[in-house]
Amino acid sequence: RYDLGRANHLTLKYSTARFLSTQQNLRIMSEDLVTLAYIGGGWASGQGGQFPVYDPATGEVITHVTDCTSHDVNVAIDAAERAFETWKLTTAKERAAVLLRIRDHLLKNKEHMATILTRENGKPRAEAMGEVGFAASFFEWFAEEGRRMYGETIPGIAASKRFITIRQPVGVAALISPWNFPIGMIGRKVAAALAAGCTCVLKPAEDTPLTALAFAKICEDAGVPCGVINVVSCSRTRVQEVGAALCDSPKVQALSFTGSTAVGQWLYSRCGPTIKKLSLELGGDAPFIVFPTANLDVAVKGAMASKFRNTGQTCVTANRIFIHESIRDEFVKRFAAAMDAELRIGSGLDPKVTQGPIINQKQHDRLTKLLKETITAGAQVVRGESPAPGGLYFTPTLLTGITPKMSIFKEEIFGPIAPIIKFSSEEEVIELANMSQRGLAGFFYSNNLGQIWRVAEAMEVGMVGVNETLFSTSEAPFGGVKHSGLGKEGSKHGLDDFTHTKLICFGI
C-alpha cells in the first residue's frame, strides 16, 4: 500500500546531551529513528516493504526502513517536478534563507545526527560529529554562493545588438549519496541543487539510509516546501531498479553520484538516452609521495590522517605510499610507531576508538582476500600481525615490498592497509604515481620549491595536497580526472552541474 501522511508519531527527540553509555545510546536510538521514505512532503511506506539496516560494529539489525520501488521513485520525481514550478521562481535570497535554516537545524541536532551516523556507518563518533558540521558548512556556503550566480554582458558584433547571459536551474536533480560520508555528501549535493533553484530526489546508499531519512526530517522541520526534497531509500536488491528509474526518467534533468567507478560508468551509460547533466565523483587511487627534503614527522602525520580516517574507507585516502629509498626505513619506523600509539579498534561509540568496523561483510571479505594475495606475492608485514577482534573489524596493516605487478598496487584498497613502495628518482615516482586509470587526488611532501611546482603540475589528478592531506572544504572545488569522474562539487563551480547558461540577444 502506498501511504502518504505527516507521520507525527515519527517526530525525532533530538538530544544535545552527550550519551553516557552505549546502552543508554542504544535505547535512545531505537525510539528516535525515521524509517519511512519522504516523498512530496509526506512520509511514505512505499510499495516494496522494508529492508534491514545493520550496525556494522555488532552485526545487529538497528531497524527496518522503506524499500522503495521504481513506482515510488517515479512518484517522488513527479512531486519534485511539481515543486520545481514554484521553487524555480523563488529569489536567491529566499532560497538562501531556507538553506540557512537547514544549516541551523543540522547544527542544533548535531549530536543526534552523529549518533545515527556512527550506528549505521561505524565510524568513530568524533569523525561523525565533524561530518555533520562539514555538511552544514555547504548549506551556509551555497546560501551565499546562490546569491552570486551572476550572468554576463557581452559586447555585440553590431551596433543594433546587445548580448547578455543568465543562469537558470536545470530542473529535477537525482542525487545518489555514498555510505562512507552519509551526511557530508548529502550536504554537498543538496545544498548546491537547492541554491541553484533545482528540486531533488535523493537516494542514499543501502547501508546508510537512516542518516538520510533523519536529514529529511530536519528539512521538514526547517520548513523546506513540500516536494523540493524527496528521499527514497532502497535495499541492495532494488538498487538497480531504483537507479534505472532515476536515469531513465526524462523528467530528471541532472544526476549527481558519488561512489565506485563501475557504478558511475553504468549510470553514465544509462543516462545517455535522456541527455542529463552529470556530476560523477568516482573511485580514487591516491598516490602519497615523500621526497628526501620532506619533514618526516609532518609526512607521517599526514599519512596517518589520510590512510586511516574512517578506517581507510575514503575516496581520497592514501592508496599507494611512495617513499624515497634514502628515507624509506626511517619513515616506516616512524609510521609503525605512530600506528602503535594512535590506532584503537572498536565501536565508534567508544570515545577512545579511532578505527571502527568495515561497512559490510562483502567489503571485509574483499580486503581479507586482497591482503592474503599481497602477502603471498611477497609483501612483508610490518604491522598487522595480530588478528582483529572479530566481526567486521580489520587490523590496520603496514606492508613493505610492494611492486607495481601486485594487485594492491592497481586496486582501490578502501580499507586500513598501507602499502609502501620505494622509489629512487622524481621521474620514476611520477611515472609510477600516474600509472592508474583513476585520478582523484594525490599528495606529496617536499621542501624543494622547484620540485613542488614540477610534481604538482605533473600529477594526473584533480586535486593535489602539498605537505597537506586535508583539503576538502565547501569553498574549494572537489573532483577528479580520468576514471575518477566528471565535474566539481563545492566552491563556486558546485552550481555548474545544476544550472544552464542562457544567451539573450536584444535587437535595438
**pLDDT tens-place string over residues 159-189:** 999 999 999 999 999 999 999 999 999 999 9
Cβ atoms of 131 and 185 within 8 Å: the answer is no
Domain membership flag for residue 19: no
Which pLDDT band holds residue 18 (cuts at 50, 70, 90)? Answer: very low
pLDDT at 5 > cutoff 50: no
Over the stretch 303-352, which tens digit does the pLDDT of each residue have?
999 999 999 999 999 999 999 999 999 999 999 999 999 999 999 999 99
Cβ atoms of 398 and 336 within 8 Å: the answer is yes
Given the residues 281, 412, 426, 489, select the one marked as catalytic. Answer: 281
User: Looking at the structure, do residues 468 and 354 belong to the same domain, yes or no?
Assistant: yes
Q: Which helix (H) or strand (E) holds 24?
A: helix 22-32
User: Looking at the structure, do residues 494 and 468 belong to the same domain, yes or no?
Assistant: no
CATH number at residue 111: 3.40.605.10
> E strands, 313-366, where?
318-324
Q: Within a 13 Å sphere around the CA of 493, how many CA atoms are in the beta-carbon half?
A: 10
User: Looking at the structure, do residues 235 and 372 belong to the same domain, yes or no?
Assistant: no
| Diameter over CA atoms, the chain | 79
State which amino acid sits at residue 472. Answer: S
Domain membership flag for residue 339: yes
Nearest to 283 by CA among 432, 408, 438: 438
pLDDT at 22 > cutoff 50: no
Residues spanned by the domain of 386: 286-473
Cα–Cα dist 201/133, whole Å: 23
pLDDT of residue 386: 72
Lowest mean pLDDT among 204-208, 386-390, 464-468: 386-390
State which amino acid sits at residue 266. Answer: W
Domain membership flag for residue 2: no
pLDDT of residue 245: 99
User: Looking at the structure, do residues 105 and 192 belong to the same domain, yes or no?
Assistant: yes
User: Looking at the structure, do residues 55 and 132 belong to the same domain, yes or no?
Assistant: yes
CATH number at residue 320: 3.40.309.10
Domain membership flag for residue 1: no
Domain membership flag for residue 140: yes
Cβ atoms of 251 and 78 within 8 Å: the answer is yes
User: Looking at the structure, do residues 169 and 293 belong to the same domain, yes or no?
Assistant: no
Q: Distance between terminal CA atoms of the chain? A: 59
Which pLDDT band holds residue 3 (cuts at 50, 70, 90)? Answer: very low
Placement of cell 572537489 in the chain: 478
User: Looking at the structure, do residues 359 and 410 belong to the same domain, yes or no?
Assistant: yes
Task: Dig out the grid coordinates for 374 from the structure.
Answer: 599481497
281 labelled catalytic:
yes
Task: Dig out the grid coordinates for 71 from the structure.
Answer: 513506482
Lowest mean pLDDT among 30-34, 36-40, 470-474: 30-34
Given the residues 140, 315, 426, 489, select the one marked as catalytic. Answer: 315
User: Looking at the structure, do residues 278 and 293 belong to the same domain, yes or no?
Assistant: no
Mean pLDDT of 419-429: 99
315 labelled catalytic:
yes
User: Looking at the structure, do residues 152 and 219 belong to the same domain, yes or no?
Assistant: yes
